[in-house]
Structure 1
Amino acid sequence: MMHADLIDQEDFRERLIALGMSIPAGATPEQACELAVSGLSPERAVALRHLVEELLGGSATLLPNVREAISRHLLPALVPKPA
């Protein structure tokens, strides 16, 4: 039997916490993303961008609510602003 790697809201939360972000237990993916982008420092933005690239480009399957939260909140926040 094959087992796929799944990223659910708890896995996603744990990955954000590993980056040093404070995400409370039970936070939805939307809430976790909103908290992750609030007050982003340049260093955290780089780390968060790497995490998003890893999640979206990796072999793990993101649950739809996690993928949607990333698309709606993290991607727009991580797009470089024109100078």
Structure 2
Amino acid sequence: MMHSDLIDQEDFRERLVALGFPIPPGTSAEQACEQAVRGLNSERALVLRRLIEDLLGGSATLLPAVREAISRTLLPALAPR
């Protein structure tokens, strides 16, 4: 039987906090993404982009709410202009 990492809203929030984003406990994935976007600068955009690449390209399973929040909020904010 294989066990994979499961990334829920709290795991996702903790990863953002570890990168320096001030996301309070109990924040939904959507709210966490919105708060991360508000705090973006070029340095934070780079580390956030790496996190998203790792999450989407890794073996961990993202809960649907986390994946949807990333797709709706973070990917458009990080897209090259």
Please, what TM-score do these two structures have when normalized by structure 2? 0.96
Q: Which portions of structure 1, spanning 4 or more consecutive aligned residues, are displaced by more than 3 angstroms? A: none
2: CA distance between counterparts of 1:58 and 1:2? 15
Q: Which runs of 5+ in 1 are unaligned?
A: none
1: CA distance between counterparts of 2:12 and 2:68? 12
1: CA distance between counterparts of 2:13 and 2:5? 16
Higher Cα Rg: structure 1 or 2? 1
1: CA distance between counterparts of 2:4 and 2:76? 28
Question: Given residue 30 of structure 1, which amino acid in structure 2 is its aligned partner?
Answer: E
Q: Aligned-pair distance for 1:4?
A: 1.7
Classify the secondary structure of the residue corresponding to 2:39.
coil
Please, what TM-score do these two structures have when normalized by structure 1? 0.94
1: CA distance between counterparts of 2:3 and 2:80? 36
What is the Cα-based RMSD across aligned positions, in Å? Answer: 0.8
Question: Given residue 9 of structure 1, which amino acid in structure 2 is its aligned partner?
Answer: Q
Q: Which runs of 5+ in 2 are unaligned?
A: none
The count of residues paired between Structure 1 and Structure 2 equals 81
State percent identity of aligned pairs: 74
